[in-house]
Structure 1
Amino acid sequence: MNARKLALFDLDHTLIPMDSDYSWGEFTMGLGWVDPAEFKRQNDAFYAHYQNETLDIDAYVRFSTAAFCAQGAEKALAAHAKYMEQVVHTFIHPQAQALVRQHQDAGDDVIIVTATNEFVTRPIAKAFGVDELMAVDLERDSTGWFTGTIRGTPSFREGKVTRVEEWLTARGLDWSQVETTFYSDSINDLPLLEKVNHPVATNPDARLRPLAQARGWRILDLF
């Protein structure tokens, strides 16, 4: 029997040439939800930590979700719809859509595995026609709205491996029963890139590109 095939995609700078969490933060500045100078200072600092592999994911998620959590569901969801229309859709390129569709047409399980939170990324995954999303899940309060606290294992660095393993286990599978491909731009995703059968360094960052070259991994410059 042929192994079940999984096509795993990072999102930011892999399927879209932007950081969705960072740009959402910039968008909320324009809405007046945060103090622009202080938010930009902290947002830039967290992003630098991410690039340097030193990000405190719990602290970052509390920071990045605080504004929309405080607004409440109705106002936050309406703002996100505008963010999709005015920002995200301008960054969804045909070649990225075609790559996802290629795997879907082949019958692969297509999953977006991102370190950005579920509120920001769920509509983006849907824009790609992808229902399976492993994002940073958030706790909810008694009304069902997000609290800004991480729920479960965050899909970040080694956590991406854990989340995929949880997905497999829930379906009675393990790594030996699937053929896996993972597309990512980031050195932060090295644990999952090393775990899959077919790592694809996609628009790789400055540290991932030479490593991929040294290991003979496929390099895809999608943008």
Structure 2
Amino acid sequence: MQRIAIYDMDRTITVRGTYAAFLTHMALSLAPWRLIFMPLAGFVMLGYVLRLVDRGRAKELNQALLIGRRVNRERIRPAVEAYADKVIARNIRAGALAQIAQDRASGCRLVIASASFRLYVEPIAKRLGFDDVIATDHFSQGVDYIRARIAGENCYDVAKLRMIEAWMSREGIARAYAHVRAYSDHVTDAPLLGFADEGYAANPHRALASLAAEEGWPVLHW
């Protein structure tokens, strides 16, 4: 029986969300003049709230505004690594670190499953000692430049569960022979928490706290 512990990242492991801060950090590091587009990025998010654009398209548009439509991977790598260092230093929950250490000690394979971009989730996961990352990929994943386009699905809501199941299939992990723990702060991860043998509402917002009470998922406060 393989033991797997799957963690959402933003506001589960971290105290605050990471995506907007990542875009701001990259603009400041690479091309500060792009900060003039911040109001436009705000309008893009308003469009998402009003359901004029979907979440994935909003990510693509804001990346194009604040980082660029196409940027060299090696050129931006130092800024990405610096952002990962910043997250580790200032934005990690102590309780999450303790739970990660406990799951590691119990023999779990540690996985981050995040809607954030693999581009910066991977260096954060590496610093935290995770074994695997399931995240939103760029269309140009694996080549020498980054495009402001998402490859496949945005790793969010039921799409996250589909991506986890696809990862398990690629890794040769049969669901019947795996014991899965899952941790998330947000109700959009209800499909994942329901899929898990042990689903935990970690630092839940109100909607997830209410659903956790209905489903019998333990609530953790890190």
Aligned residues: 217
Partner of 1:78: 78
Deviations 1:111-142 (CA, angstroms, capped at 9, x unpaired): 00000111121111112111300010112189
Q: Which runs of structure 2 are paired with 1:145-156 in the superposition (5 Å)? A: 145-156=145-156
SS of alignment partner, residue 34 of structure 1 = helix
SS of alignment partner, residue 137 of structure 1 = strand
Distance 1:121 1:21 in 2: 10
Which ranges in structure 2 are unaligned for 5 or more consecutive residues?
none
- Cα RMSD over matched residues? 2.6
Distance 1:30 1:200 in 2: 36
Matched, 1:9 2:7: yes
Which ranges in structure 1 are unaligned for 5 or more consecutive residues?
none
Distance 1:54 1:162 in 2: 25
Distance 1:79 1:107 in 2: 33
Q: Which runs of structure 2 are paired with 1:52-131 in the superposition (5 Å)? A: 56-66=54-64, 67-69=66-68, 70-131=70-131
Structure 2 letter corresponding to 1:42: F
Structure 1 letter corresponding to 2:112: I
Aligned-pair distance for 1:87? 4.7
2:84 and 2:124 in contact (8 A); partners too: yes
Q: Percent identity?
A: 22
Partner of 1:25: 23
Deviations 1:154-177 (CA, angstroms, capped at 9, x unpaired): 321111111111122123333222
1:115 and 1:154 in contact (8 A); partners too: yes
Partner of 2:42: 41
1:165 and 1:174 in contact (8 A); partners too: no
Aligned-pair distance for 1:57? 3.0
Deviations 1:47-87 (CA, angstroms, capped at 9, x unpaired): x74xx999713302312432335443244222223323345
Aligned-pair distance for 1:38? 1.8
1:182 and 1:196 in contact (8 A); partners too: yes
Task: State which drifts further: 186-195 or 84-93.
Answer: 84-93
Aligned-pair distance for 1:101? 1.6
Q: TM-score, normalised by structure 2?
A: 0.85
